[in-house]
Amino acid sequence: MPARELRFEAGGAGEVSALLELPAGARRLLVLAHGAGAGMRHRFLEAVTERLAERAIATFRYQFPYMEAGRRSPDRPPKLAATVRAAVEAAAREAPGLPLFAGGKSMGGRMTSTAAAEESLPGVRGLVFFGFPLHPPGRPGSERADHLAAVRAPMLFLQGTRDDFAGLDLLRPVLDRLGPRATLHVVDGADHSFGVRKSSGRTHDEVLDELADAVAGWSAGL
Q: Report CA dihedral (69, 73, 79, 81) to the nearest 10 degrees.
A: 110
Helix or strand or coil: residue 139?
A: coil
With H, G, I as helix, E, B as strand and everything else as coil, classify residue 129: strand
CA distance 105 to 37: 10
Determine the pLDDT at residue 13. Answer: 80
How far is CA 192 from its chain centroid? 13
Strand, coil or helix: what is 127?
Answer: strand
Going by C-beta distance under 8 Å and a sequence separation of 6 or more, which residues neighbour residue 162?
189, 190, 191, 192
Which pTM was predicted? 0.97
Per the CB < 8 A criterion, the answer to whether 125 and 152 are in contact is no
Domains defined along the chain, listed by start: 4-220 (3.40.50.1820)
b/e for 200-222, b at 16 or more Cβ within 10 A?
eebeeeebbebbbebbbebbeee
Mean pLDDT, each 10-residue run in order, the chain (222 residues): 92 92 97 97 97 98 97 96 98 97 98 98 98 96 97 98 97 98 98 95 96 98 95
* pLDDT at position 12: 82
pLDDT at 11: 81
